[in-house]
Amino acid sequence: MKFSIEQIAQMLGGEVIGDKTKSVSKISKIEEAGGDALSFLANLKYENYLYTTGAGAVIVNRDFEPKKEVKTTLIKVDDAYSAFTSILEQYQSYMMAARVGVEEPSYIGEGSEVGEEGYRGAFSYIGKNCKIGKFVKIFPHAAIGDNVEIGDYTIIDAGAKIYSNSVIGKECVIHANAVIGSDGFGFAPQKDGSYKAIPQLGNVVLEDQVSIGANTVVDCATMGSTIIRKGAKLDNLIQIAHNAEIGEDTVIAAQSGVSGSSKIGKNCMIGGQVGVAGHLAVADRTILAAKTGIGKSVSSPGQVLMGAPGFDQKSFLKSFAHFRRLPDMEQRLSDLEKNIQNSTTENKGDE
């Protein structure tokens, strides 16, 4: 795939400074790029690479002014990071579009329908009565149960498992070895101390443009649906329990867990290794720092919480500052006790 620098600038609404007739055919980091590569500079920590890079062209912010001579061609745009992300998306779409057809062996069950321009990799499995949209890519060893619906342009990566009755929206990405729709962790304690499994009869619904990371698990509901709302992005190694709901455009980093029946609001940002207890609500635009533990509902939107249990970031940082001083404070208290004890002994001796 080759594009002239002028074509790229037109796609991005950018201005070319340099030779606009040159072509690029790949995308690279600025410090590693060769003459046939396109790169970008958004973080000025990497500005020095701009003066030594071999890239054919570099995307920069419109207000950027070089401090030295630049040998490469510049494409000036309003937001270099967003523009480069757009290029990556188009490049990925082009590469994915090249995957079309059915590799053998693969299996599709009775009553299932697959839309046009799709791809099914070797050893992929589709159960009965499924409805698969157009341009859907199902990679090798992916398994899709019965009665599953998958919207247009969705990607199911290698080894992913979609349990029966799941509903997957348009333009979703489910990465390798993710599991959608496994049984929720529901067990009823018995009088003899054992546990009896509670049947999990619900399903999982992923709305449009949802991303599920590798090895992430979204459990089906006991009844009803576990729901991941439109535009939500889940990192690798995340656990979403039965009947939970993740709000629109919420992002969750790796190794976090959301317990059963909890509801996370819209536009939340959840760091790595965060834990949310069951049957709670987290308000819109909440930010939970890494390793935060949420044991009660967060009712006010837009808060930034830290710690376990989680509380206001500023209060946490003040408390942590005192915590770091505890050894010194303990020593000072011990010295003060000794001084008081010595003073008391001396006073008794004077009596």
| Spatial contact of 49 and 65, defined as CB atoms under 8 Å apart | no
Domain range holding 234?
102-314
Does residue 336 lie within any of the structural domains?
no
User: Catalytic residue at 141?
Assistant: no
Claim to verify: residue 49 and residue 109 sit in the same structural domain:
no
DSSP code, position 220? P
Claim to verify: residue 59 and residue 148 sit in the same structural domain:
no
Determine the average pLDDT of the residues in 239-264. 98
Residue 346: predicted pLDDT = 67
Claim to verify: residue 135 and residue 211 sit in the same structural domain:
yes
Does residue 323 lie within any of the structural domains?
no
Claim to verify: residue 62 and residue 106 sit in the same structural domain:
no
Q: Which of 141, 175, 242, 322 is catalytic?
A: 242
Residue 347: predicted pLDDT = 66
Q: Could you tell me the pLDDT band of residue 37, with boundaries at 50, 70 and 90?
A: very high
Claim to verify: residue 202 and residue 302 sit in the same structural domain:
yes
72-113 pLDDT, tens digit each: 999 999 999 999 998 888 777 776 767 889 999 999 999 999
Residue 12 to residues 3, 75, 125, Cα–Cα distance (Å) = 13, 9, 40
Domain CATH code at residue 154: 2.160.10.10
pLDDT higher than threshold 60 for residue 351: no
110-149 pLDDT, tens digit each: 999 999 999 999 999 999 999 999 999 999 999 999 999 9
pLDDT higher than threshold 70 for residue 339: yes
Count of structural domains within the chain? 2
Does residue 163 lie within any of the structural domains?
yes
53-72 pLDDT, tens digit each: 999 999 999 999 999 999 99
Token pair 């949310």 in the structure block, residue: 276
Strand partners, 288: 270, 305
pLDDT higher than threshold 80 for residue 47: yes
Helix axes 80-97, 5-12, angle to 10 degrees: 110
* Torsion over CA: 287, 231, 178, 264 (sign): positive
Residue 13: predicted pLDDT = 93
Claim to verify: residue 13 and residue 40 sit in the same structural domain:
yes
Average model confidence (pLDDT) for the chain?
A: 92
Domain CATH code at residue 86: 3.40.1390.10
